Amino acid sequence: MAVKNLESILSLERKVGRLITEYSQARQRISQLEQELSRTQTTLHQANARIADLNSRLNNMRTAGSLAASAEQKEETRLRIDRMVKDIDRCIKLMSL
C-alpha cells in the first residue's frame, strides 16, 4: 500500500510540475501578446492620426479650390450685377422722360 501511495504522490508531483510549467509558459505567452497588442494599438493610433491629418489637408485643399472657383464666380457675378444696374438705370431714365 505504501508503494502505491508513493507512486500516486510521485505521479501527482509530475502532474503538478507539468501544470506549473504550462502555467509559466501561458503567462509568458500572455505577456508577449500584451506587448504585441500595445505595439499594434500604438500603430493604429499613429495611423488614425495620419488619416485625420490627411483628411484635414484634403478639406483645406478642397476649400482652397472652392475659394479659387468662388473668386472667378465673384467676378462674373459682379459683372452681371453691374450690367443689371446699368439696365435698371436705363429703365429709370426712360420712365422719367
Ramachandran angles phi, psi of 61, nearest 5°:
-65, -40
* Integer angstrom CA distances of residue 45 from 26, 38, 40, 51, 65: 28, 10, 9, 10, 30
* pLDDT reported for residue 29: 97
pLDDT in tens, the chain (97 residues): 788 888 999 999 999 999 999 999 999 999 999 999 999 999 999 999 999 999 998 888 877 766 666 777 778 888 888 999 999 988 888 887 6
pTM: 0.56
